[in-house]
Amino acid sequence: MSQPDRYAVIGNPIAHSKSPEIHARFAQQTGQNLVYERLLAPLDGFERTVRDFIAAGARGANVTVPFKLEAHALATELSVRAQAAGAVNTLRFSDDVIFGDNTDGVGLVTDIVRNAGVALHGKRVLLLGAGGAARGVMLPLLDEKPAELVIANRTVAKAAELAREFSPPHGRVHACGFGEPEGRFDVIINATSSAIAGDMPPLAPELFGPGTLAYEMMYGREATPFMRFAAQAGAATRDGLGMLVEQAAEAFLVWRGVRPDTAPVYAALRASL
């Protein structure tokens, strides 16, 4: 049997990453001959780590915090969604080409539309935060043609800058502070890091209702403050574990040309939390 193709997730820190487990399950399911490892890159040594990995015969890599901007700069070719995101979480190596892609947004949209069964087309969507996580999902969200996409952020100027960048031709995008959105939204996505601090953006409960999906990009065993607040206001809630699995499946497709079945992998990860 031929040597397995090599892949890895590169980050700092990296020990917590579930990507090796996810891709091992994908490879077993699809019959792909590959190995997938964790690579801890020094904070000042991302490019060297990637080039050494390529020299060792690697075929691709996932990139996580804090190297997504450096991966974008290192890529010699970029997908449309990576260009829009300004960041790269998936690298594919072939000949002298380093192809950079960003699968975060499509992972989020797939989890909401297919797995949660919530349409985004023609709906009011509120995106909380205007940092890298928000930017990375803007284009795939707008590709679903929501009636309106509102970006709320603590610093309104940063939200306004993001809204200007993605306004027509992409769609109707508005910016405001956390306390300013009005009316009920169909989908509210928390792209801030508030869950890490055990906090949440200051939102009015009237933004949520029985028809609202409150989506937390973070995931864990317990509901986050954002999810608890939304549930008290009558909304359905979902964390970002499905997004993690779906973005990994999209990366697997970029590398191997086959899309794995995500449902059993999601179920296994959920059970292990």
- Residues in binding site: 17-19, 64, 89, 104, 129-133, 153-158, 217, 219, 240, 247
Q: Whole-angstrom Cα distance, residue 92 to residue 220?
A: 29
DSSP secondary structure string for all residues of 24-91: HHHHHHHT--EEEEEEE--TT-HHHHHHHHHHTT--EEEE-TT-HHHHHHH-SEE-HHHHHHT--SEE
CA 216 to chain centre: 11
Annotated binding residues for NADP(+), written as ranges, equal 129-133, 153-158, 217, 240
Torsion angle in degrees (nearest 10) through CA of 242, 244, 249, 254: 140
Question: 187 near 211, Cβ under 8 Å?
Answer: no
Question: 90 near 101, Cβ under 8 Å?
Answer: yes
Classify residue 212 by burial, with Cβ atoms within 10 Å: 0-12, 13-18, 19+: buried
Annotated binding residues for shikimate, written as ranges, equal 17-19, 64, 89, 104, 219, 247
- Check the CA dihedral 157-159-165-167 and report its sign: negative
Specify whether 123 is catalytic. Answer: no
From the candidates 23, 59, 68, 256, give the one annotated as an active-site residue: 68
Catalytic residues: 68
